[in-house]
Amino acid sequence: MPPNTILKMSENNFSNIKPFYASPYGHSRLFTATCNGKKVILKTLKEAYAADSQCRETLKKEYETTSQLDYRFIRKALGYEQLPDLGECIVFEYIDGKSLAEHVRVGTLNEKQIKSVLIDLCDALNYMHQRGICHCDLKPENIMVTANECRVKIIDIGLPETDYKTDHELLIKENEFIAPELFKGEEADPRSDIYSVGKIIEFIIERNMLDQYSSVATHCTQFSREQRFDSIQEVKSLITKRTSTVKIIVVAAVVALIAALALIYVPKIIQKSKSEKQDRLKVEFKHEIDKIEAEKDTLCKKYKLVSLDEPVTPPVAWKEDSIRYRQQLDRFMGIDSLRLVADQTLAKQRQAIIQSRQDEFNALQKLANDTTKTVTTTTLN
Protein backbone atom coordinates (compact mmCIF):
# COMPACT_ATOMS: atom_id res chain seq x y z
CA MET A 1 0.00 0.00 0.00
CA PRO A 2 1.55 3.36 -0.95
CA PRO A 3 2.21 5.95 1.76
CA ASN A 4 -0.49 8.56 2.44
CA THR A 5 -3.19 6.28 0.98
CA ILE A 6 -6.35 6.52 3.10
CA LEU A 7 -8.78 3.62 2.89
CA LYS A 8 -12.40 4.72 2.97
CA MET A 9 -14.98 2.37 4.40
CA SER A 10 -18.61 3.39 4.84
CA GLU A 11 -19.24 4.45 8.42
CA ASN A 12 -22.48 2.44 8.27
CA ASN A 13 -20.34 -0.71 8.19
CA PHE A 14 -19.16 -0.06 11.76
CA SER A 15 -21.32 -1.42 14.56
CA ASN A 16 -21.08 -2.60 18.16
CA ILE A 17 -18.54 0.12 19.00
CA LYS A 18 -17.38 -0.27 22.63
CA PRO A 19 -14.64 1.38 24.77
CA PHE A 20 -11.61 -0.91 25.09
CA TYR A 21 -8.68 1.02 26.58
CA ALA A 22 -7.73 4.62 27.38
CA SER A 23 -4.02 5.45 27.52
CA PRO A 24 -3.27 6.75 31.04
CA TYR A 25 -0.42 8.99 29.84
CA GLY A 26 -0.91 9.54 26.13
CA HIS A 27 -3.50 11.18 23.91
CA SER A 28 -5.25 8.13 22.51
CA ARG A 29 -8.05 5.75 23.37
CA LEU A 30 -9.15 2.45 21.81
CA PHE A 31 -12.53 0.98 20.93
CA THR A 32 -13.56 -2.43 19.63
CA ALA A 33 -16.01 -2.53 16.74
CA THR A 34 -17.44 -4.83 14.08
CA CYS A 35 -16.78 -3.97 10.43
CA ASN A 36 -18.08 -6.11 7.57
CA GLY A 37 -18.58 -8.98 9.99
CA LYS A 38 -15.06 -8.82 11.46
CA LYS A 39 -13.91 -7.48 14.81
CA VAL A 40 -11.50 -4.52 14.56
CA ILE A 41 -9.77 -2.00 16.82
CA LEU A 42 -10.41 1.74 16.45
CA LYS A 43 -7.67 4.04 17.69
CA THR A 44 -8.68 7.66 18.13
CA LEU A 45 -7.86 10.71 20.25
CA LYS A 46 -9.29 11.42 23.66
CA GLU A 47 -11.93 14.14 23.61
CA ALA A 48 -9.53 16.63 25.23
CA TYR A 49 -7.09 16.26 22.29
CA ALA A 50 -9.56 15.82 19.42
CA ALA A 51 -9.07 19.40 18.21
CA ASP A 52 -5.29 19.48 18.74
CA SER A 53 -3.71 19.71 15.29
CA GLN A 54 -0.39 18.21 16.42
CA CYS A 55 -2.08 15.18 18.00
CA ARG A 56 -4.21 14.67 14.89
CA GLU A 57 -1.11 14.84 12.72
CA THR A 58 0.65 12.28 14.95
CA LEU A 59 -2.33 9.93 14.64
CA LYS A 60 -2.38 10.28 10.86
CA LYS A 61 1.39 9.79 10.66
CA GLU A 62 1.09 6.56 12.65
CA TYR A 63 -1.45 5.31 10.11
CA GLU A 64 0.68 6.32 7.13
CA THR A 65 3.72 4.58 8.62
CA THR A 66 1.93 1.39 9.62
CA SER A 67 -0.03 1.12 6.39
CA GLN A 68 3.28 0.70 4.52
CA LEU A 69 3.96 -2.50 6.45
CA ASP A 70 2.47 -5.83 5.45
CA TYR A 71 4.11 -8.51 7.57
CA ARG A 72 2.67 -11.34 9.63
CA PHE A 73 4.34 -10.21 12.87
CA ILE A 74 3.11 -6.59 12.63
CA ARG A 75 -0.45 -5.47 13.32
CA LYS A 76 -2.10 -4.28 10.10
CA ALA A 77 -3.61 -0.84 9.64
CA LEU A 78 -6.82 -1.36 7.63
CA GLY A 79 -7.94 2.22 7.12
CA TYR A 80 -8.31 5.78 8.34
CA GLU A 81 -11.87 6.88 9.13
CA GLN A 82 -13.90 9.88 10.25
CA LEU A 83 -16.60 8.42 12.52
CA PRO A 84 -19.46 10.13 14.35
CA ASP A 85 -18.72 10.84 18.05
CA LEU A 86 -15.16 9.46 17.69
CA GLY A 87 -13.63 11.72 15.02
CA GLU A 88 -10.56 10.55 13.12
CA CYS A 89 -9.70 6.88 13.74
CA ILE A 90 -7.14 4.35 12.62
CA VAL A 91 -8.79 1.00 11.90
CA PHE A 92 -6.50 -1.83 13.03
CA GLU A 93 -6.90 -5.58 12.81
CA TYR A 94 -8.11 -7.12 16.08
CA ILE A 95 -5.55 -9.37 17.80
CA ASP A 96 -6.81 -12.22 19.95
CA GLY A 97 -4.08 -12.46 22.56
CA LYS A 98 -2.23 -10.77 25.42
CA SER A 99 0.77 -8.47 25.62
CA LEU A 100 4.22 -9.90 26.30
CA ALA A 101 4.19 -7.87 29.55
CA GLU A 102 1.13 -9.77 30.81
CA HIS A 103 2.61 -13.17 29.87
CA VAL A 104 5.97 -12.49 31.51
CA ARG A 105 4.52 -11.10 34.74
CA VAL A 106 2.45 -14.22 35.39
CA GLY A 107 4.89 -16.71 33.85
CA THR A 108 2.61 -18.23 31.20
CA LEU A 109 5.31 -18.69 28.53
CA ASN A 110 7.79 -21.56 28.63
CA GLU A 111 11.42 -21.34 27.50
CA LYS A 112 10.68 -22.54 23.96
CA GLN A 113 7.85 -20.01 23.54
CA ILE A 114 10.00 -17.16 24.82
CA LYS A 115 12.70 -18.02 22.29
CA SER A 116 10.08 -18.14 19.51
CA VAL A 117 8.71 -14.73 20.56
CA LEU A 118 12.20 -13.18 20.49
CA ILE A 119 12.90 -14.60 17.04
CA ASP A 120 9.56 -13.31 15.70
CA LEU A 121 10.35 -9.90 17.19
CA CYS A 122 13.74 -9.82 15.46
CA ASP A 123 12.18 -10.81 12.12
CA ALA A 124 9.54 -8.07 12.41
CA LEU A 125 12.13 -5.42 13.26
CA ASN A 126 14.39 -6.58 10.42
CA TYR A 127 11.47 -6.16 8.00
CA MET A 128 10.88 -2.63 9.31
CA HIS A 129 14.54 -1.62 9.37
CA GLN A 130 15.03 -2.74 5.75
CA ARG A 131 12.32 -0.21 4.85
CA GLY A 132 13.88 2.60 6.85
CA ILE A 133 11.30 2.48 9.66
CA CYS A 134 12.16 2.31 13.38
CA HIS A 135 9.65 1.49 16.07
CA CYS A 136 11.00 4.02 18.63
CA ASP A 137 8.62 2.93 21.42
CA LEU A 138 9.30 -0.80 21.72
CA LYS A 139 8.36 -2.30 25.11
CA PRO A 140 6.61 -5.46 26.39
CA GLU A 141 3.21 -3.70 26.34
CA ASN A 142 3.62 -3.04 22.59
CA ILE A 143 4.32 -6.68 21.72
CA MET A 144 1.17 -8.81 21.46
CA VAL A 145 1.36 -12.62 21.59
CA THR A 146 -1.48 -14.38 19.76
CA ALA A 147 -3.61 -16.81 21.76
CA ASN A 148 -3.68 -19.73 19.32
CA GLU A 149 -0.19 -19.84 17.78
CA CYS A 150 1.84 -17.84 20.31
CA ARG A 151 3.19 -15.59 17.54
CA VAL A 152 4.21 -11.95 17.80
CA LYS A 153 2.25 -8.92 16.60
CA ILE A 154 4.05 -5.60 17.07
CA ILE A 155 1.71 -2.65 17.72
CA ASP A 156 1.90 1.17 18.21
CA ILE A 157 4.70 1.89 15.76
CA GLY A 158 6.10 5.42 15.84
CA LEU A 159 7.28 8.05 18.28
CA PRO A 160 5.73 7.90 21.78
CA GLU A 161 2.74 10.18 22.33
CA THR A 162 4.20 11.81 25.44
CA ASP A 163 7.05 14.31 25.62
CA TYR A 164 9.65 12.65 27.84
CA LYS A 165 11.42 15.97 28.38
CA THR A 166 8.42 17.42 30.23
CA ASP A 167 6.58 14.40 31.64
CA HIS A 168 8.96 13.24 34.38
CA GLU A 169 6.49 10.75 35.86
CA LEU A 170 6.34 8.88 32.56
CA LEU A 171 10.11 9.20 32.18
CA ILE A 172 10.63 7.31 35.44
CA LYS A 173 8.02 4.69 34.49
CA GLU A 174 9.17 3.86 30.98
CA ASN A 175 12.78 4.88 30.52
CA GLU A 176 14.08 1.34 31.00
CA PHE A 177 12.92 0.39 27.49
CA ILE A 178 13.71 3.60 25.57
CA ALA A 179 17.18 4.18 24.08
CA PRO A 180 19.03 7.04 25.87
CA GLU A 181 19.68 8.94 22.64
CA LEU A 182 15.93 9.39 22.13
CA PHE A 183 15.65 11.21 25.45
CA LYS A 184 18.33 13.61 24.20
CA GLY A 185 16.29 14.39 21.09
CA GLU A 186 18.65 12.60 18.67
CA GLU A 187 17.45 10.80 15.54
CA ALA A 188 16.50 7.13 15.96
CA ASP A 189 18.14 4.38 13.97
CA PRO A 190 17.91 0.55 14.11
CA ARG A 191 20.31 0.49 17.06
CA SER A 192 17.73 2.42 19.09
CA ASP A 193 15.30 -0.49 18.65
CA ILE A 194 18.12 -2.95 19.41
CA TYR A 195 18.59 -1.21 22.78
CA SER A 196 14.87 -1.75 23.51
CA VAL A 197 15.14 -5.43 22.54
CA GLY A 198 17.98 -5.81 25.06
CA LYS A 199 15.87 -4.23 27.79
CA ILE A 200 12.96 -6.53 26.91
CA ILE A 201 15.27 -9.54 27.23
CA GLU A 202 16.38 -8.26 30.66
CA PHE A 203 12.72 -7.89 31.63
CA ILE A 204 12.15 -11.55 30.68
CA ILE A 205 15.30 -12.76 32.46
CA GLU A 206 14.44 -10.92 35.67
CA ARG A 207 10.98 -12.49 35.95
CA ASN A 208 11.56 -15.93 34.39
CA MET A 209 15.17 -16.62 35.42
CA LEU A 210 16.30 -17.47 31.87
CA ASP A 211 19.87 -16.19 31.87
CA GLN A 212 21.02 -17.83 28.62
CA TYR A 213 20.38 -14.55 26.77
CA SER A 214 22.02 -12.25 29.32
CA SER A 215 25.14 -11.64 27.20
CA VAL A 216 22.93 -10.70 24.22
CA ALA A 217 21.02 -8.23 26.40
CA THR A 218 24.25 -6.69 27.71
CA HIS A 219 25.56 -6.06 24.19
CA CYS A 220 22.21 -4.62 23.07
CA THR A 221 21.95 -2.16 25.95
CA GLN A 222 25.28 -0.37 25.75
CA PHE A 223 24.80 3.36 26.43
CA SER A 224 26.59 4.36 23.25
CA ARG A 225 24.84 3.10 20.14
CA GLU A 226 28.21 2.58 18.44
CA GLN A 227 28.94 -0.20 20.96
CA ARG A 228 25.72 -2.12 20.29
CA PHE A 229 24.99 -4.66 17.57
CA ASP A 230 24.85 -3.03 14.15
CA SER A 231 21.76 -4.94 13.01
CA ILE A 232 18.89 -6.89 14.50
CA GLN A 233 19.98 -9.90 12.44
CA GLU A 234 23.09 -10.17 14.62
CA VAL A 235 20.82 -10.33 17.67
CA LYS A 236 18.70 -13.05 16.08
CA SER A 237 21.73 -15.12 15.11
CA LEU A 238 22.89 -15.28 18.74
CA ILE A 239 19.41 -16.17 19.99
CA THR A 240 19.08 -19.01 17.46
CA LYS A 241 22.71 -20.19 17.75
CA ARG A 242 22.91 -23.95 18.17
CA THR A 243 24.60 -25.49 21.21
CA SER A 244 27.83 -27.42 20.57
CA THR A 245 27.83 -31.25 20.54
CA VAL A 246 29.95 -31.48 23.69
CA LYS A 247 27.63 -29.16 25.51
CA ILE A 248 24.63 -31.21 24.36
CA ILE A 249 26.18 -34.38 25.83
CA VAL A 250 26.89 -32.66 29.14
CA VAL A 251 23.42 -31.20 29.27
CA ALA A 252 21.87 -34.58 28.42
CA ALA A 253 23.72 -36.22 31.31
CA VAL A 254 22.58 -33.53 33.71
CA VAL A 255 19.02 -33.82 32.43
CA ALA A 256 19.05 -37.58 33.00
CA LEU A 257 20.18 -37.07 36.59
CA ILE A 258 17.58 -34.40 37.17
CA ALA A 259 14.89 -36.62 35.66
CA ALA A 260 15.71 -39.35 38.17
CA LEU A 261 15.40 -36.93 41.06
CA ALA A 262 12.34 -35.25 39.59
CA LEU A 263 10.12 -38.27 40.28
CA ILE A 264 10.55 -37.55 43.98
CA TYR A 265 10.82 -33.79 44.19
CA VAL A 266 8.83 -32.36 41.27
CA PRO A 267 5.36 -32.68 42.87
CA LYS A 268 6.57 -30.80 45.95
CA ILE A 269 8.28 -28.15 43.85
CA ILE A 270 5.16 -27.64 41.69
CA GLN A 271 2.96 -27.28 44.76
CA LYS A 272 5.38 -24.82 46.37
CA SER A 273 5.63 -22.84 43.12
CA LYS A 274 1.85 -22.59 42.84
CA SER A 275 1.58 -21.46 46.45
CA GLU A 276 4.30 -18.84 46.01
CA LYS A 277 2.68 -17.55 42.80
CA GLN A 278 -0.67 -17.26 44.56
CA ASP A 279 0.93 -15.36 47.44
CA ARG A 280 2.77 -13.06 45.04
CA LEU A 281 -0.40 -12.36 43.07
CA LYS A 282 -2.29 -11.52 46.25
CA VAL A 283 0.42 -9.05 47.33
CA GLU A 284 0.42 -7.42 43.89
CA PHE A 285 -3.39 -7.36 43.88
CA LYS A 286 -3.45 -5.64 47.30
CA HIS A 287 -1.05 -3.02 45.95
CA GLU A 288 -3.30 -2.34 42.93
CA ILE A 289 -6.42 -2.14 45.12
CA ASP A 290 -4.69 0.28 47.51
CA LYS A 291 -3.74 2.52 44.57
CA ILE A 292 -7.33 2.57 43.32
CA GLU A 293 -8.69 3.29 46.80
CA ALA A 294 -6.14 6.10 47.23
CA GLU A 295 -7.43 7.82 44.08
CA LYS A 296 -11.02 7.97 45.33
CA ASP A 297 -10.78 11.50 46.79
CA THR A 298 -8.94 12.76 43.71
CA LEU A 299 -11.64 11.40 41.41
CA CYS A 300 -14.41 12.89 43.61
CA LYS A 301 -12.80 16.30 43.17
CA LYS A 302 -12.20 15.70 39.47
CA TYR A 303 -15.88 15.02 38.73
CA LYS A 304 -17.49 17.63 41.03
CA LEU A 305 -20.32 19.87 39.77
CA VAL A 306 -19.56 23.26 38.30
CA SER A 307 -23.17 24.39 37.70
CA LEU A 308 -26.72 23.54 38.68
CA ASP A 309 -27.48 22.29 35.16
CA GLU A 310 -24.72 19.68 35.07
CA PRO A 311 -26.11 16.11 35.32
CA VAL A 312 -25.37 14.10 38.46
CA THR A 313 -24.28 10.95 36.62
CA PRO A 314 -20.52 10.65 35.96
CA PRO A 315 -19.26 11.90 32.56
CA VAL A 316 -17.56 9.85 29.84
CA ALA A 317 -14.16 10.40 31.45
CA TRP A 318 -15.20 8.15 34.34
CA LYS A 319 -15.70 5.30 31.86
CA GLU A 320 -12.13 5.79 30.62
CA ASP A 321 -10.82 5.70 34.20
CA SER A 322 -12.78 2.55 35.06
CA ILE A 323 -11.53 0.79 31.91
CA ARG A 324 -7.95 1.59 32.89
CA TYR A 325 -8.45 0.32 36.45
CA ARG A 326 -10.13 -2.86 35.26
CA GLN A 327 -7.26 -3.54 32.86
CA GLN A 328 -4.79 -3.18 35.74
CA LEU A 329 -6.72 -5.90 37.58
CA ASP A 330 -7.31 -8.25 34.61
CA ARG A 331 -4.47 -10.60 35.44
CA PHE A 332 -5.98 -11.31 38.88
CA MET A 333 -9.44 -12.18 37.55
CA GLY A 334 -8.72 -15.92 37.46
CA ILE A 335 -8.97 -15.99 41.27
CA ASP A 336 -12.64 -15.76 42.22
CA SER A 337 -12.02 -14.18 45.62
CA LEU A 338 -9.91 -11.44 44.07
CA ARG A 339 -12.45 -10.87 41.28
CA LEU A 340 -15.11 -10.18 43.95
CA VAL A 341 -12.85 -7.71 45.80
CA ALA A 342 -12.02 -5.93 42.53
CA ASP A 343 -15.68 -5.57 41.57
CA GLN A 344 -16.57 -4.30 45.03
CA THR A 345 -13.70 -1.78 45.03
CA LEU A 346 -14.63 -0.33 41.64
CA ALA A 347 -18.31 -0.23 42.62
CA LYS A 348 -17.53 1.59 45.88
CA GLN A 349 -15.31 4.06 44.05
CA ARG A 350 -18.01 4.79 41.46
CA GLN A 351 -20.62 5.22 44.21
CA ALA A 352 -18.32 7.62 46.08
CA ILE A 353 -18.01 9.76 42.95
CA ILE A 354 -21.78 9.77 42.37
CA GLN A 355 -22.41 10.63 46.04
CA SER A 356 -19.83 13.42 45.94
CA ARG A 357 -21.47 14.91 42.88
CA GLN A 358 -24.94 14.56 44.48
CA ASP A 359 -23.73 16.31 47.66
CA GLU A 360 -22.27 19.10 45.54
CA PHE A 361 -25.56 19.41 43.66
CA ASN A 362 -27.58 19.50 46.89
CA ALA A 363 -25.31 22.15 48.38
CA LEU A 364 -25.66 24.36 45.33
CA GLN A 365 -29.42 23.80 45.26
CA LYS A 366 -29.72 24.77 48.94
CA LEU A 367 -27.61 27.86 48.34
CA ALA A 368 -29.88 28.85 45.45
CA ASN A 369 -33.02 28.31 47.56
CA ASP A 370 -31.62 30.27 50.53
CA THR A 371 -30.70 33.12 48.20
CA THR A 372 -34.21 33.14 46.73
CA LYS A 373 -35.77 33.26 50.22
CA THR A 374 -33.51 36.12 51.27
CA VAL A 375 -34.39 38.14 48.19
CA THR A 376 -38.13 37.44 48.68
CA THR A 377 -38.01 38.49 52.37
CA THR A 378 -36.11 41.68 51.56
CA THR A 379 -38.65 42.57 48.84
CA LEU A 380 -41.62 42.03 51.16
CA ASN A 381 -40.07 44.19 53.85
**How far apart are the C-alpha atoms of 130 and 124, rounded to whole Å?**
10
Count the Cβ atoms, other than its own, within 10 Å of residue 114: 22
Identify the CATH class of 97-241: mainly alpha
CATH 3.40.50.11890 fits 11-93, yes or no: no
In residues, how long is the chain? Answer: 381
Mean per-residue pLDDT pooled into runs of 10, the chain (381 residues): 42 82 84 92 93 92 93 95 92 95 90 94 97 92 94 85 49 71 88 96 84 90 94 94 56 76 74 79 83 81 66 58 75 77 82 81 80 71 59
| CA 263 and chain centroid, separation | 41
**How far apart are the C-alpha atoms of 9 and 80, rounded to whole Å?**
8
3-state SS assignment for residue 317: helix
* Residue-level pLDDT at 44: 95
* Residue-level pLDDT at 248: 60
* Residue-level pLDDT at 341: 83
* Residue-level pLDDT at 165: 47
Specify which residues 42 forms β-bridges with: 31, 91
* Residue-level pLDDT at 9: 44
Count the Cβ atoms, other than its own, within 10 Å of residue 349: 20
Torsions phi, psi of 341, nearest 5? Answer: -65, -40
* Residue-level pLDDT at 4: 40
Answer for the pair 106, 276: CB distance below 8 angstroms, yes or no: no
- pTM for the whole structure: 0.61
> Strand (E) positions, 293-335?
none
* Residue-level pLDDT at 66: 94
* Residue-level pLDDT at 380: 65
Specify which residues 15 forms β-bridges with: 34
Using CA atoms, how far residue 36 sits from 63, 80, 146, 161, in Å, is: 20, 15, 22, 30
Q: Report which of 130, 330, 303, 327 is spatially closest to residue 233, judged by C-alpha positions.
A: 130
**How far apart are the C-alpha atoms of 181 and 41, rounded to whole Å?**
32
Answer for the pair 189, 134: CB distance below 8 angstroms, yes or no: yes
Where do the structural domains in the chain lie, given as residue ranges?
11-93, 97-241, 274-380
* Residue-level pLDDT at 243: 45
